[in-house]
Chains A and B, each alone.
Chain A
Amino acid sequence: MSAITLKNVTKRFGDVTVIPGIDLSIEDGEFVVFVGPSGCGKSTLLRLIAGLEDVSAGVIDIDGADVTGTAPAKRGLAMVFQSYALYPHMSVAGNIGFPLRMAGESKEAIDKKVRAAAATLNLTDYLHRKPRELSGGQRQRVAIGRAIVREPKGFLFDEPLSNLDAALRVNMRLELSELHAQLKTTMIYVTHDQVEAMTMADKIVVLNRGHIEQVGSPLTLYNKPDNLFVAGFIGSPKMNFLGPTYAKEHGAATVGVRPEHIKISKESGLIKGTAGVAEHLGSDTFVHVHVAPDQMITVRTSGDSVLRHGDTVWLTPDEDRLHRFDAQGKAIR
């Protein structure tokens, strides 16, 4: 059991309010992703949960117990840092075993647990090496190993994949999801990359300037964004926002439509435009269509599209899949 609850959690650095007051509950065993642009306060929120920073106001509960004033080590959470924060003077075994050593476990017990963790993470052959002798992916795994040996109540990850190259990142994403499926422990994962959020999360928390914009499953956020910010942040390529004239016809201030919900045709349609760059991914093609001097609409079409740069095209949004927003940016349902 390890549910984490935040009640009105607030953080100020001097006069600057970074987190103005957040309420959030995280269920036991959930994989929760905090996502938002850089500087929105994701790391700060994670560090508040970890106990590495004091809250300015509010309460943090773990399993119903108030831990607001508890030292980081006593909260039973493990953290994986962006830089991995491995101890450079200790071997891989020393790094993974350090939390157990601090907990005062016997040498044999430490040894056994370290070996078990190393086996799970494919690190057995590297146990005697120093961190500087490992590749980025291996270091990442050592950091994870150090977190799992303690069998913590929950894991905290702060952008753990951002220092890896693209291919490795996809791999580690799968490994982390696999790990969560095995351990079934609560995980809180911070990233600015919405693809990571969409692919890994049970529940996504979208943060913007220290506020929660929306909480929900990946598909909920994708299909029913609560507001313009979430609509624009989740999804790649981004949702298209159509001009005010079109929006007014649908009784909204802004209307958004995802690239896959627009029909493109060379003969007829609702909006006339000129085909620009087409990105061929093989399975799909993203066509960037200029519909006004300063407006471009991205359309997702089949992989074998034969549109050429400069072709005149017609676009027709799917009326049933429009996202309508009022003047405050709130979704109209």
Chain B
Amino acid sequence: MARAVSTRRKITFTVIAWVIGIAIFFPILWTILTSFKTEGEAIASPPSFLFFDWTLENYTTVQERSNYFLHFWNSVVISLGSTVLGLIIAIPAAWSMAFVPGKRTKDVLMWMLSTKMLPPVGVLIPIYLLFRDAGLLDTRTGLVVVLTLMNLPIIVWMLYTYFREIPGEILEAARMDGAGLREEIIYILTPMAVPGIASTLLLNVILAWNEAFWTLNLTAANAAPLTAFIASYSSPEGLFYAKLSAASTMAIAPILILGWFSQKQLVRGLTFGAVK
């Protein structure tokens, strides 16, 4: 579409697009702004947009009252832990499927994806009971295990599509040049796949960070990540908009930033390659 467009047309579209873009983004913007207000100003009528006394007190209050950073840290551990563990299991599997495809490779891949389509509520009870008996309820370990398994199909799938773009001849060349399997993976495959592995990591950290079924059902005070911590604001006492906003801003900021880097991978990872 490298066609010259009349300036008037371009101006019109610029205005429409920005108005709609800001409207869609507005709830996030409003949350961020509110987090810097006092509780009084947060519910002021008419609402103040930019001209209020900016304060950081909500951020400190949230931390003091509820040990915010414990939950933040839980989110970090759970999302990174489950993703890294998933990658360690998935890289060899994706290598096998991409470079030594057999008759059943496609079936295995499809079967892995089908496990992702299992509704979590269908296995909630057994997992809950197994975790209860194993003492894994409300532990970070337990959540790391569940989220690793939850996201493993997506991780395998994404890596597979990235690995498949690496020509097999290059790995064969390495083999002819005297590289064993270990050298082949360390010196050739991994460096070539770094962008793909990084994208996979990024998308899965995002998915794990925002996961809100298992985190809500399997945790309580100790291992609750931010999803579950924020949920505790659903039954508030007194004025709480500004504090909710501060907690929310901190909870979504890291992922918003990561997310902006991962737009392309998002399509690839979440459509399982069905849309390119």
Do the beta carbons of A102 and B167 come within 8 Å of each other? Answer: no
B173 within 8 A of A: yes
Do the beta carbons of A78 and B176 come within 8 Å of each other? Answer: yes
Do the beta carbons of A85 and B188 come within 8 Å of each other? Answer: no
| In the complex, chain B residues whose CB is within 8 Å of the CB of A276 | none
Contact with A along B186-201 (1 / 0, CB 8 A): 0110011000000000
Interface size (B, Cβ < 8 Å)? 18
Do the beta carbons of A79 and B174 come within 8 Å of each other? Answer: no
B101 within 8 A of A: no
Do the beta carbons of B177 and A73 come within 8 Å of each other? Answer: yes
Nearest residue (CB) in B for A52 is: B172
Would you call the interface of chain B mostly helix, strand, loop, or mixed? helix
Within 8 A of A (CB), among B175-226: 175-180, 183, 187-188, 191-192
Do the beta carbons of B169 and A81 come within 8 Å of each other? Answer: yes
Do the beta carbons of B175 and A73 come within 8 Å of each other? Answer: yes
Do the beta carbons of B176 and A72 come within 8 Å of each other? Answer: yes
- The CA-CA distance from A86 to B170 in the complex, in Å, is 6
Within 8 A of A (CB), among B131-188: 167, 169-170, 172-180, 183, 187-188
Interface size (A, Cβ < 8 Å)? 23
Do the beta carbons of B169 and A98 come within 8 Å of each other? Answer: no
- The CA-CA distance from A99 to B179 in the complex, in Å, is 8
Contact with B along A171-207 (1 / 0, CB 8 A): 0000000000000000000000000000000000000
Give the tally of cross-chain contacts (CB within 8 A).
Answer: 59
| In the complex, chain A residues whose CB is within 8 Å of the CB of B103 | 14
- The CA-CA distance from A8 to B172 in the complex, in Å, is 25
30 contacts across the A-B interface (CB closer than 8 A): A14-B103, A50-B176, A52-B176, A71-B175, A72-B175, A72-B176, A73-B175, A73-B176, A73-B180, A79-B172, A81-B169, A82-B169, A85-B167, A85-B172, A85-B173, A86-B170, A87-B170, A87-B173, A87-B188, A87-B192, A88-B192, A89-B191, A89-B192, A98-B174, A99-B177, A99-B178, A102-B177, A102-B179, A103-B178, A146-B173
Closest 7 CB pairs of A and B: A102-B178, A85-B173, A99-B177, A85-B169, A73-B178, A89-B191, A85-B170
Residues of A in contact with B (beta carbons under 8 Å apart): 14, 50, 52, 71-73, 77-79, 81-83, 85-89, 98-99, 102-103, 146, 150
Residues of B in contact with A (beta carbons under 8 Å apart): 103, 167, 169-170, 172-180, 183, 187-188, 191-192
A81-B169, A85-B172 known; 6 other A-B pairs, CB under 8 Å? A73-B179, A79-B176, A81-B172, A87-B173, A87-B188, A87-B192
